[in-house]
Amino acid sequence: MELLNTLVDKGLRREPPTREEALAVLATADDDLLDVVAAAGKVRRAWFGRRVKLNYLVNLKSGLCPEDCSYCSQRLGSQTGILKYTWLKPEEAAAAAGAGVAGGAKRVCLVASGRGPTDRDVERVSRTIQAIKEQHEDVEVCACLGLLSDGQATRLRDAGADAYNHNLNTSEATYGDITTTHTYADRVTTVRQAQAAGMSACSGLIAGMGETDEDLVDVVFSLRELDPDSVPVNFLIPIEGTPLAEKWHLTPQRCLRILAMVRFVCPDVEVRLAGGREIHLRSLQPLALHLANSIFLGDYLTTEGQAGKDDLAMIADAGFEVEGTDTTTLPAHRADALAAAGAGCGAHGEAAGGCGSAGGGCAPCGDAATSETSDRVPATPATVPAEAAPAAVPAAAPAAGARTDLVAVRRRGAGTDLPPNA
């Protein structure tokens, strides 16, 4: 296809496609899907080789959020049955992070539910960052605490945070349809605050919430303009008890097209395969590694992921290799720009550079709760084995309705007495 040849050439030059070209990628036929993956894979390998960066989530505070994000199991009034607990102590969070590092994670993402942190919360997270860095000097730490106030980004950077995640999630035009307690502009402001403080910005999207192709292209082009260093691509996890529990619009093929479109628009940026990959890509997960150069290892914030050992086996079987701490993730032009800005793991200074990532899987919100205690609500007893993986399902598009056979609430790891899935 001439379109794909054009997109590869542009990607190798760090030149963005047109909106029409991006939309055309999403509209390709199933018969052309492997050609699309192969073309975007050329761009991915040109900038990142066959390396896969592993990231590990630590949910510092679960539930208890005053925001109304429709996709989120931690939202105000949630009846999802997730674990709910207030702040982990620094040593508890460091121990949880250590499990991910032992599994090969290069970055630890510290996430807390809520609108945004209080100054005391920032101090609490700063102590947690320091505790992690004392034990794992080379690990990257990304904070995801929600909307930041003046000076908080600088305090986190000074405490040792390498990156900050805050996802745009969807297009500006449809943002009000999924969240009413804060605005799209609030999110953009927080990402820019992180960049101004010298941290690597991580910002991505959630696909599968009922958006159009135009919405997907809009948010990805907005990310490119914002220019974070890493872009997590989340696929909606329709959790029973949330307003979007019956939004099962994605197929494995559509997920691959979305990832390819993101790679073409953001050629030299860390594209992270984030939440929902197991339940929507299913047996096609290995193909996604040809498009994304980063994944989350093990479980997510409130739901279970694929077993960590299976993630590692998948990477090896697909002919990729886990990226070590001695390797710089981003291409030199981006890494050098970030280093000049005062951080250390990415870059956001190139006008032609592309967009970013983060938390692809990190939570959308921070923590507005005012509780000052570090005691936790007792964890709910485990209901699944520690190594349980998502149930196998046919490759056909899922039927409408909540799919409790695919989505399992996390009952292990951070906030429980059970070992993590790492």
Burial of 356 (0-12, 13-18, 19+ CB in 10 A): buried
142 catalytic residue (yes or no) = yes
272 catalytic residue (yes or no) = yes
User: What is the Cα Rg of the chain in Å?
Assistant: 19
Q: What secondary structure letter does DSSP report for 380?
A: P
Q: What secondary structure letter does DSSP report for 252?
A: H
Are the CB atoms for 61 and 367 separated by under 8 Å?
A: yes
pLDDT value at position 404? 58
Query: pLDDT tens-digit profile of 7-49?
Result: 999 999 999 999 999 999 999 999 999 999 999 999 999 999 9
Burial of 77 (0-12, 13-18, 19+ CB in 10 A): exposed
Q: State the average pLDDT for the chain.
A: 86
Catalytic residue among 14, 107, 115, 142: 142
Rounded Cα–Cα distance for residues 396 and 373 (Å): 47
Backbone angles phi, psi at 85, to 5 degrees: -155, 155
Is residue 392 predicted with pLDDT exceeding 80?
no
Who wins on pLDDT, 115 or 369?
115
Q: Locate tokens 């609490």: which residue? A: 124
Is residue 138 predicted with pLDDT exceeding 80?
yes
109 catalytic residue (yes or no) = yes
365 catalytic residue (yes or no) = no
Are the CB atoms for 168 and 184 separated by under 8 Å?
A: yes
Are the CB atoms for 291 and 37 separated by under 8 Å?
A: yes
Query: pLDDT tens-digit profile of 204-227?
Result: 999 999 999 999 999 999 999 999
Catalytic residue among 14, 44, 51, 69: 69
3-state secondary structure of 132: helix
Rounded Cα–Cα distance for residues 317 and 300 (Å): 23
Catalytic residue among 14, 44, 51, 65: 65
Catalytic residue among 14, 51, 72, 157: 72
The widest CA-to-CA distance across the chain, in whole angstroms, is: 60
Rounded Cα–Cα distance for residues 420 and 422 (Å): 6
